Structure 1
Amino acid sequence: MPDHITLRDVELPPLSVLEPEPVLSGEVYAGRIDRTRARMRELGLTHLIAYADREHPGNSLYLTGFDPRFEEALVVLDLDNAPWILAGNESSAMVPGLPVTATAVLCQSLSLPGQDRSIQQRVSAALRQVGVGSGARVGLVGWRQITAGDSPLSPYAYAVPAFVIGEILDVTPNLTDATSILMGIDGLRSRNEADQIALNEHRSTRAAGHAWRALEALEPGRSELATAEHMALNGLPLTAHVMLTTGSGKIVGLCSPSDRVIGHGDLLSTAVGLQGGLTSRAGYVLHAGQLAQRQTDFAAGYFAAIAIWYRGLVLGASTAEIAERTTRELAKSSIRPLLNPGHLQHIDEWLDSPFAAGSHGTVHSGMSLQADIIPVGSTPDLAANCEDAVAIADADLRAELAERYPRMWARVTARRTFMTQTLGLRIAEEVLPLSDRQAVLPPALLSLSSVLVATASA
């Protein structure tokens, strides 16, 4: 166990009672479209086409607020006109209620199998209808980037169904991958406006409340599903299926709750993700006094790395160096990270991750991040997780948030105070905790107020 990490009883801050959540205005979307068009001009594009489906709505939501249900969809943007949204039989009806002026274009091949195709089936016909002609220079935005390591054909590979690509090429041969305009560590979506950060905070706060209410209801002898009922989910869109899983000796944290009865001494992992942030915790169905020393040591070694990660979030800092220092700290306790030590999040739970060896990324204002460091120990019967959302804001962005969203700012300020004065973590002034009980890690989940803290020497 690291000598600067200890288990201490603390008074947990209450879960927040929230005001109505912020609403992104038409002006926010207009600014996003203007910035996207500037990138299009830099690349010599006349049109941008962004793909979306139920699992991957982030780019569509970013540009227009359109969130397709059941179906696939395409957002088409040129350099002058309001966006067009190519949608199927069901989702077309959602376009008139968007916060931006957009025109719905029925494209029935984007509908579910077996539905009517008799009005307008082909994507190519719909593209011609909105002015995409043979001379158009089209940038296609898929739901992720395809790198050279993913495929030797990466300059010509798109994370978009092949039939859509074929339909675009039927209209124009001038097609290029433009996913990096919106996604990736330098994409527009890695720089959030004050309004999006405020919305992320609201959703992250809700997600934390859902997860912590389940933990507060935890009892051996109660089923996973009965425990998950205490999350009190309210219908806001999820970025991941609800997770709550237990097991004896081993768990797979991605699993959904079942009728399995939770046993004393089980491992437990739970997570709730909303569009804006995810909260996850993992530990043992034990009281603090029942922890084995190796269980405490594992959690403490993990928390020491969490402290390193938060401390590294300074404007201009190398994300590759933060990843290396975090990984090195984990290794001191024979732990490795399952995935990257942290990642970008936006509307999606995982946008990309600059926390990797060789990354050229730096910590910049407007980032919204997940403290998602999943520890893997030497044996599968060890568990810990402490995942929350955090934003990075320079002085100007902090001033705007404080002025326009005073209640949100009060929550952020209180969380910073708790993290530094109670948990002993060092965080720069640009670090904005977005979740209730940020970085609170109780290894024994039947003793939630017995948490790991860093001493003054950390």
Structure 2
Amino acid sequence: MKSLKEIYHHKNFSLRKVRYLEPVFNNRPAILSDETFRERKDKLLQAMKDNGVDLVFVYADREHGANFEYLTGFIPRFEEAMLAIASTGEAILFLGNENVKMAPHSRMKAQLVHVPYFSLPNQPMENDRSLRDIISDAIDFCGKTIGIIGWKVFTSRFEDNRQLFDVPYFIVDILQRLAKEHGGEAMNASALFMGENGGIRTTNNANEIEHYEYGSSLASDCVLDVLNQVEIGKTEMELASSLSAFGQPHNVTAICATGDRFTNAVIYPRNKAVQLGDKFSATTGFKGGLASRSGYVVNNTEELPADVQDYLERAAIPYYAAVVAWLEQIKIGMKGGELYEIIEEVLPKEDYHWHLNPGHLTADEEWLSSPVYPQSSTELKSGMLLQIDIIPSVQGYAGASAETGIALADEQLREEIRENSPELWERILKRRDYIEKELHIRLHPEVLPLSDTVGYCRPYLLNKESALLFHRE
């Protein structure tokens, strides 16, 4: 029996004429149903019960609002906000001046408490009560275990992770003191939402998968559009116009960079023109997924800079072999540590210097958390959304990237998608057919591609007709 290294040996890959899957515009983003929001609340209440938590406070601001939005359906945009939920199911929304109007629209029914302290600087502070009094008057803290939820699960072995908080001090301090004064305790409970072992947001139902597929496929379409527009003389800013679409909110800072990146500490697209032989990268992301591609602005190997003429063999093909291995090997029931070891075998870290997790969960955020790390015993489950996120770093060479996302869905979940979202199901079947017949990549039945560019890797960006291809023996 062949080893993974033999199956995905670099000699089995080459640059060939390969068509890309022509995107079909999806103008129907899926709205999350009332049933989904009821299910989310029920999942939280059960998780609280299982973990002995009596009361949770979910913090939100513009950048860190996904856990809050998971239950309410909205984020506080430019203010701060907090949602308190008791084990009884009772909920309170603490909102600043400009988000009070959102309370009637919340997908979770909750009492409104106005908190001017959550408003922008120098806005009216029309109350004579402290933040402590506002919170304590609204909440019974007596003997309760309090969970404070920000946006990060800490896993450092050097700290008491339950006492590390990523929520502003002025809020944490009050909640800790109120809990202690009433015979309870306060702890970081973000793992209830995001922890890879049972976090309620780490798996999704059919409605949620359809909702997130819209953003994942839109990101893919945008990046493919940029790749198809790359020409000598076009500027980063011109090309980057295609990385936004339909006013949808980004979950990452868009990247459109030619040549050397980060000069003068600039991380945004510049008025810099594309030149022959440039390194080039493009990335964008929306709710549900990110798409990223990188390579060289050339038609063929002869146009590469002299010192990187072996780019395909040294960087691009080894990377793509790992992507193919990831796609072919991932399945429900495998441990995150197994997937990590597969990538380590096919693309040894010592040689290719990747340092982040080779795969992670995604949702409203680009990176929710990750079950893929050394010795991870976390089981990959039906309903998980995962990004292929392998980032090699070979000194002197441009990067290689074909980052996109997939969903894992068991037979029951696949049937629910087929019945309730037939258009989505047709897109999934079309993508799987393309991946198998055109790219020669065999997916397990539970692997659902969430965009049209899953598995597609074009390293020479001026050559729009060729891509890397796996030659299965």
TM-score, normalized by the shorter chain, greater than 0.5: yes
What residue identity is the alignment partner of 2:358? P
- Distance in 1 between the 2:376 and 2:417 partners? 30
Match of 1:334 in 2: 351
Q: What's the secondary structure of 1:400's corresponding residue?
A: helix
Deviation at 1:262, TM superposition (A): 1.4
Structure 2 portions without partners, runs of 5+: 1-8
Q: What's the secondary structure of 2:351's corresponding residue?
A: coil
Instruction: Check if 1:389 corresponds to 2:396.
Output: no
Match of 2:318 in 1: 301
Q: What's the secondary structure of 1:347's corresponding residue?
A: coil
- Distance in 2 between the 1:333 and 1:308 partners? 18
Match of 1:171 in 2: 178
Deviation at 1:411, TM superposition (A): 0.7
Match of 2:442 in 1: 426
Q: 4+ residue stretches of structure 1 with deviation over 4 A?
A: 248-254
Q: What's the secondary structure of 1:337's corresponding residue?
A: coil
Moved more, 442-451 or 43-52: 43-52
Deviation at 1:82, TM superposition (A): 4.4
From 373, 384, 393, the equivalent of 1:356 is 373
Contact 2:336 2:380 in 1 (8 A): yes
Instruction: Check if 1:366 corresponds to 2:383.
Output: yes
What residue identity is the alignment partner of 1:69? R
Matched positions, count: 455
Deviation at 1:99, TM superposition (A): 2.7
Deviation at 1:133, TM superposition (A): 2.7
Contact 1:108 1:121 in 2 (8 A): no
Could you tell me the percent identity over the aligned residues?
A: 31
Deviation at 1:120, TM superposition (A): 6.4
- Distance in 1 between the 2:79 and 2:328 partners? 42
- Distance in 2 between the 1:155 and 1:363 partners? 25
Match of 1:401 in 2: 417
Contact 2:219 2:243 in 1 (8 A): no
Q: What's the secondary structure of 2:11's corresponding residue?
A: coil
Q: How does 1:7-406 map to 2 (within 5 A)?
A: 7-119=15-127, 122-149=130-157, 151-173=158-180, 174-186=185-197, 187-248=199-260, 255-288=267-300, 290-291=303-304, 293-297=309-313, 298-331=315-348, 334-377=351-394, 379-406=395-422
What residue identity is the alignment partner of 2:329? G
Moved more, 434-443 or 92-101: 92-101
- Distance in 2 between the 1:144 and 1:82 partners? 25
Report the CA distance shift for 1:18/1:213 in structure 2 as closer, same or farther (over 3 A): same
Q: What's the TM-score, normalizing by structure 1? A: 0.94
- Distance in 2 between the 1:101 and 1:334 partners? 53
- Distance in 2 between the 1:89 and 1:350 partners? 30
Deviation at 1:254, TM superposition (A): 9.6
Q: What's the secondary structure of 2:234's corresponding residue?
A: coil
Contact 2:233 2:275 in 1 (8 A): yes
Post-superposition Cα deviations, 1:386-405, rounded to whole Å, max 9, x if no partner, equal 10011000000000001111
Report the CA distance shift for 1:143/1:403 in structure 2 as closer, same or farther (over 3 A): same
Q: What's the secondary structure of 1:375's corresponding residue?
A: coil
What residue identity is the alignment partner of 1:113? P
Report the CA distance shift for 1:288/1:85 in structure 2 as closer, same or farther (over 3 A): farther
Contact 1:249 1:381 in 2 (8 A): no
Deviation at 1:83, TM superposition (A): 2.5
Deviation at 1:252, TM superposition (A): 12
Q: What's the TM-score, normalizing by structure 2? A: 0.91
Match of 2:4 in 1: none
Instruction: Check if 1:456 corresponds to 2:472.
Output: yes
Report the CA distance shift for 1:250/1:177 in structure 2 as closer, same or farther (over 3 A): closer
Instruction: Check if 1:445 corresponds to 2:457.
Output: no
Report the CA distance shift for 1:424/1:255 in structure 2 as closer, same or farther (over 3 A): farther
Deviation at 1:253, TM superposition (A): 12
Moved more, 212-221 or 402-411: 212-221
Contact 2:232 2:275 in 1 (8 A): yes
Report the CA distance shift for 1:167/1:333 in structure 2 as closer, same or farther (over 3 A): closer
Deviation at 1:23, TM superposition (A): 0.5
Moved more, 245-254 or 100-109: 245-254
Contact 1:249 1:267 in 2 (8 A): no
- Distance in 2 between the 1:299 and 1:53 partners? 39
Q: What's the secondary structure of 1:398's corresponding residue?
A: helix
Deviation at 1:119, TM superposition (A): 2.2
What residue identity is the alignment partner of 1:108? P
- Distance in 2 between the 1:120 and 1:443 partners? 62
- Distance in 2 between the 1:182 and 1:120 partners? 35
Report the CA distance shift for 1:350/1:231 in structure 2 as closer, same or farther (over 3 A): closer
What residue identity is the alignment partner of 1:362? E
Deviation at 1:286, TM superposition (A): 0.8
Moved more, 254-263 or 407-416: 254-263
